[in-house]
Amino acid sequence: MQIAFELFSLAYEAWMLLDIDLNARNGHLATEDTKTAMQFYMKYKDNEKSKEDARRLLLNIRPRMTPAKASNYNYEGICVAGFFKQMCTCNRSSFTNN
């Protein structure tokens, strides 16, 4: 199976590899992102085999549905498709170049 890309969000990596739900608290917290990034660094900085095993795990398990997708990219009348131009309902500029 050919994978088109190998980029994952920090939230997805944390959930899959550290069993940490970065979205469980009151929204996005940069301090929690930083702590999680440091945990990844400490866990994988000296272990290439573990890093490769983690990459394979991320590629082989499908991510859970995002809140944006679950709400069809429109939450209570507000467009949440900033990174998915095809689903945008507000006709504002997209955050992507596509």
User: Which phi and psi angles does 75 have, rounded to 5°?
Assistant: -110, 115
pLDDT at 96: 59
Query: Average pLDDT for residues 59-73, to the nearest whole number?
Result: 82
User: Any idea where the domains of the chain sit in the sequence?
Assistant: 1-64, 65-98
pLDDT digits (tens, 9 = 90+) for 12-29: 899 999 999 887 776 678
Mean pLDDT of the chain: 83
Contact between 58 and 68 (Cβ < 8 Å):
no
Query: Average pLDDT for residues 79-85, to the nearest whole number?
Result: 82
pLDDT digits (tens, 9 = 90+) for 22-48: 877 766 788 999 999 999 999 999 999
